[in-house]
Amino acid sequence: MERFNQKFKIFILVFISLFIQCGDKENNNDLILTLLVMPKTSGSNLGPCPPASLPTEIPVANTVVTANSTVNGFNNSTKAINGICGGGEFSGSLDVYALNLTGVGATLVLSWAGKTVKNVSGIDFIVYENPFRISESSDRYAFDPMVVHVSFNGTDYCGFDLSGFNPSVVDSNKISSWPGFAGLRPTIYNMATKPFTLDELFTTVNNDFLLGGGDGFDLNDLIVGGPGTNCDAAARNFIQTNGFKFIRLVSASAVNNPNTGSGYVYPHSYDNGPDIDGVVAKSVE
């Protein structure tokens, strides 16, 4: 029944999205925002999450550096650092901090309270949002893409290759259409009801999916330049050698795509962006 409800609400969301193209978009924002929240949270029974204290063996980003979201009901930035409370493959979590689609509220900067995330073997950190798969037989996901930047000094930020972005209208909600972005894969990890060890979180299963879900990033994949960054070769090389202290998460729609001159727009039928559950590093010091 829960999965039926998820699919039914997705159908309604798509229907309203098509309908609003012919109507008064501004006057229907409240209805659409309500429909947004329903499929990403309905049916969830997450138990006691977030936990009373974070597990010491899991290096969660635990400090909010910059947060300016104005999304009603989801602009408490502590939700991005109080633990990972995923709802599983077919459901999202309410314990999230939501970004605006554009403007200053479209960016969140986190840190590890002065510690440095190191460049180790394989994936170095995981970003958790609250996407979900539309159905068991589908390769389509309800997600809110975001762009990831990292910095050692809080000034010089480097990011990842987004040049593979080229979704058409018909495949815009396929993960393969958004290489280099975060906010795509469901969060399986729940610190209360679905715990994992650190090694398990960084274990790859089913090609590019992780055992605990989320989107993984390897510092060896950082590029010079890149949309929304001021990254030169010296900054990239320094981070790859020494690690980073700050992570910047930005709604994809707020980052300029150099190929189009506008944001990386996902066909939203609602007016907020990614819902951030947290970030976990593999190694900090």
Q: Where are the domains of the chain?
A: 47-281
In angstroms, how far is CA 262 from the centroid of its own chain? 20
- The sign of the torsion formed by the CA atoms of 231, 237, 240, 241 equals negative
Average pLDDT of the residues of the chain: 85
Comparing 30 with 95, the larger pLDDT belongs to 95
The span from the CA of 134 to the CA of 142, in Å, is: 7
State mean pLDDT over 17-23: 39
In angstroms, how far is CA 190 from the centroid of its own chain? 16
- Determine contact, residues 116/239, Cβ cutoff 8 Å: no
The span from the CA of 209 to the CA of 205, in Å, is: 5
Question: Is 141's pLDDT higher than 80?
Answer: yes
pLDDT tier, 217 (very low <50, low <70, confident <90, very high otherwise): very high
Question: Is 41's pLDDT higher than 50?
Answer: no
Question: Is 31's pLDDT higher than 90?
Answer: no
Question: Is 40's pLDDT higher than 70?
Answer: no
Give the pLDDT confidence score for residue 8 in this predicted structure. Answer: 36
